[in-house]
Amino acid sequence: MMKRILLATLLLLSPKLQAHVDTKNLFVIPAAEAKEMLHIYGIKEDELLLSLLPLTQPLARAPISHEKVGAAVMGKSGTIYLGVNLEFPGVPLHESVHAEQFAIANARRYGETEITTIAISAAPCGHCRQFMQEIEQSGKIRVVTASFNKPLDKLLPHAGNTQNRDAHTHLLTPSPPHMSLMIYSLDNEAREAYLASYAPYSKCPSGVAIQVKSGQIYRGAYLENRAFNPSLSPLQAALIALIADMSDYAEILSVLLVEKPNALISHEATTRAILKNIAPQAHFSKILQKQHPE
């Protein structure tokens, strides 16, 4: 805890030290630590979120645009989740991950079910405003930048509707654990990601698991959007987990994609294309999930 408090102190008191601050393990700031920061500095929540953005921006991977964006999400739990933008050389720009998507997917990884505020280093594009629309009570989410503070429904007054989804589910609805898959393996982690998918429109769940040289496995579930293009592929979601753990593409050994048979959409082609450019050393495989385990 003291490490993060020291980092925030350096940042708040001397922004010039940003480039020299060790930014490891800052993609998630537990609620207790966030609360202590607010108390120690006597600042407001928005000020804390905005002050953390310069810490995250250097971690962005933007080899195409060279525009590094940071995002900080405050969950209802009080935990702060950070995010950055990711671009993949040689791959169409629509496969990029926006900082807001990163931060929200990061919150979902940790079981956060509601978001109250998102602070961003640049005004959110329409793509990200629509992505946030899939969250419960999305219109009430406060979007904060250095120049404005507005609820999402003021920034996206005529959002694409979500009528085709189950009224009881949304992007951050927690998925139940599947006890039959408790063995930690690439296969089981990919299947768990498949089961955790949010695909209310296409009904085509999909999951990816990535294994790196250390043996660590990162999984990503497909996160769909009513406007389709803002959807996050399972590989993108898995890469968010990998980057949030401060790992690197060069560490990737194996990637497993799980999809259902005869799906209307498949992520295989784009998964292969991205891996070819960021992790050509990785072994790719795909399996079909015929039915959900009991």
User: Rounded to two decimals, what is the model's pTM?
Assistant: 0.89
pLDDT in tens, 9-53: 545 544 543 443 444 567 999 999 889 888 888 889 999 999 999
Structure tokens at 99: 């900082």
Q: Which residue has the higher pLDDT, 249 or 93?
A: 249
CATH of domain 23-155: 3.40.140.10
Instruction: Please state the CATH superfamily assignment of the domain spanning residues 179-288 in this structure.
Output: Cytidine Deaminase, domain 2 (3.40.140.10)
Domain spans of the chain?
23-155, 179-288
Report the C-alpha gap between 279 and 282 in whole angstroms. 6
**Catalytically active residues, by annotation:** 100
pLDDT-based confidence at 243, cuts 50/70/90?
very high
> Does 23-155 match 179-288 in CATH topology?
yes
pLDDT of 172-213, one tens digit each?
A: 987 665 545 556 899 999 999 999 999 999 999 999 999 999
Look at residues 93, 206, 204, 226 and name the one whose alpha carbon lies nearest to residue 158. 226
- For tokens 């898959």, the residue is 181
